[in-house]
Amino acid sequence: MDAVTDVDEVRDADGLIPIKDFSEMRDKCPALREVLLPDSIWQQFRDWHSRPDDVAAHCSIVLLAFRRGYLGRVTAPIHRYIVSSAGVLPGVRKQYVKDLRERWMLHGDPIKRNRLARIFRGRLVELQFAVWLESQSHKVVGLETTREGPDIETVSSDGIANTFEVKFIGVEDADFTSFLQSIAGLQAGGSVSPYTAMNYLLFRAYEAARQLRAVTGTKTVVVVIDDTTWCRFAMQLTGHWINWANPQFFSGEFVSQEDDWNAFFTEQRKHHPYLPNDLAPALQEIHSVKIFRQTSAFEFCLEYDQSLRHHFDPDIRHIQAP
C-alpha cells in the first residue's frame, strides 16, 4: 500500500476524511494508541486529516488500511512483538517505537513526506515479514526491535538458524514528482532507465549483505518492493539481467552521465568507499536473495529467489528451537 494510492476512496464528497470510527478503534487498540498514533501526535494527526490535501492527495497508511479492511495486517505485528494490553513491552528499543509513529504526513514538503512515508513503511515491512516467516514454519528468536543486529533471526522447522536483512523499495522521488505534476494539471511523465532500477536494487541488496557480514546461520537478503513500483523491476528480474555469481553495476553505454544513478552512486561511495569492488564479495557471503512484491493488501508475493552459496557452509547451525 502506498501513501498516495486511491486516497479518494477514504474521503467524503466534500473531500474530508471521516475519522470518528477510526478514533473509536484507536481507543481500543494498544498498537494504535501506544505506538502508531500515541497521544503526542494524535491531535496533529486528526487536524491534518480534517482538511483535503490538494497538492499530493496524501493519506495516512494506517487510516487507509482501516478504511479498506486491512488494519489487522498493520497492527498484528505490533501486537505480536511490540505491545501488550499493559503497553509497550519491556526491552523494546525506544528509537524503534519512535520510528513506528505515523507522523510523516505532518511535514510541509510533499517530496519530503514521500521519503518519510517510505522510511515508515520500511519499519512496518520488517515486522510484517517476521509474521510472514512465522506462517512459513519459522520460529522468530531475535528482532532488531530489542537489540542491535540483523532485522530478524529465526530457527526453521528443520533446526536451521537463519538471519534476514529486509530492505523496502517504495515510490521513488522522480515517480512521485511526476504524480504531483499530474495532480497540478502539468505535463508529467518521462523515461526511467531499467538499468538504473537494477543498479538501485543491487545497491540495496549490497547494503543488506554488508549488515549480515558479522552474523552466523543462513544469511538471506530480502528486498520488498511496493506493488505500485514493481513495474520498474519486473522485466529485468524475469529476464535475469543480474549475474549473481559476479554481480556488477551497469555503467558506460547503459547509464548516461546525466542519469540520477551517477549522483546517487557518488554520494553513496562516501559511506561505502570500497564500492564497486566490494559488491561481488559482499553478496557472495550470503546464501540467497529473495525479492517480494507487497500488494496493497499487505500480502507478500515471492517473485524472485536466487541461491548464492551452494557449498557446505560451517556457519549454518542446526539448533533446537526454544
The model's confidence at residue 134, banded by pLDDT at 50, 70 and 90, is very high
* Residue 141 sits in the same domain as residue 122: no
Domain endpoint, select from 102, 129, 156:
129
The model's confidence at residue 156, banded by pLDDT at 50, 70 and 90, is very high
* Residue 294 sits in the same domain as residue 236: yes
The answer on pLDDT for 177 being more than 70 is no
**pLDDT digits over 42-74, tens only?**
999 998 887 755 544 568 899 989 988 999 999
* Residue 81 sits in the same domain as residue 171: no
Radius of gyration of the chain (CA): 21
Domain that residue 284 falls in = 137-322
Contact 120, 104 (CB under 8 A): yes
Backbone angles phi and psi of 102, in degrees to 5:
-90, 90
Q: What is the pTM of this model?
A: 0.86
Give DSSP secondary structure letters for 307-321.
E---S--TT--B---
The answer on pLDDT for 187 being more than 50 is no
14-28, 52-66, 123-137: lowest mean pLDDT where?
Answer: 52-66
How far is it, in rounded angstroms, from Cα 84 to Cα 26?
A: 15
Contact 308, 284 (CB under 8 A): yes
* Residue 99 sits in the same domain as residue 194: no
Q: How many domains does the chain have?
A: 2
**pLDDT digits over 203-239, tens only?**
999 999 999 999 988 999 999 999 988 988 999 999 9
* Residue 313 sits in the same domain as residue 236: yes
Domain endpoint, select from 94, 129, 164:
129
* Residue 85 sits in the same domain as residue 217: no
* Residue 280 sits in the same domain as residue 181: yes
* Residue 94 sits in the same domain as residue 48: yes
* Residue 141 sits in the same domain as residue 124: no
Share of the chain above pLDDT 90, in %: 61
Contact 200, 142 (CB under 8 A): no
Question: For the chain, what is the mean pLDDT?
Answer: 84
* Residue 90 sits in the same domain as residue 156: no
Long-range contacts of the stretch 245-252 (C-beta < 8 A, 24+): 246/280, 247/202, 247/279, 247/280, 247/283, 248/276, 248/279, 248/280, 249/199, 249/202, 249/203, 249/276, 249/279, 250/195, 250/196, 250/198, 250/199
A 10 A CB-CB count for 179 gives 19
Q: Which residues are within 8 A (CB) of 188 and not within 5 positions of it... i.e. 6 or more apart?
A: 178, 179, 181, 182
* Residue 311 sits in the same domain as residue 272: yes
Backbone angles phi and psi of 84, in degrees to 5:
-130, -175
A 10 A CB-CB count for 184 gives 11
Domain endpoint, select from 68, 94, 129:
129
* Residue 87 sits in the same domain as residue 154: no
Instruction: For residue 33, give the nearest of 69, 78, 77 by alpha carbon.
Output: 78
Instruction: For residue 152, give the nearest of 102, 83, 211 by alpha carbon.
Output: 211
Long-range contacts of the stretch 65-70 (C-beta < 8 A, 24+): 65/1, 65/298, 66/21, 66/22, 66/25, 67/9, 67/10, 67/22, 68/1, 68/9, 68/296, 68/297, 70/1, 70/297, 70/298
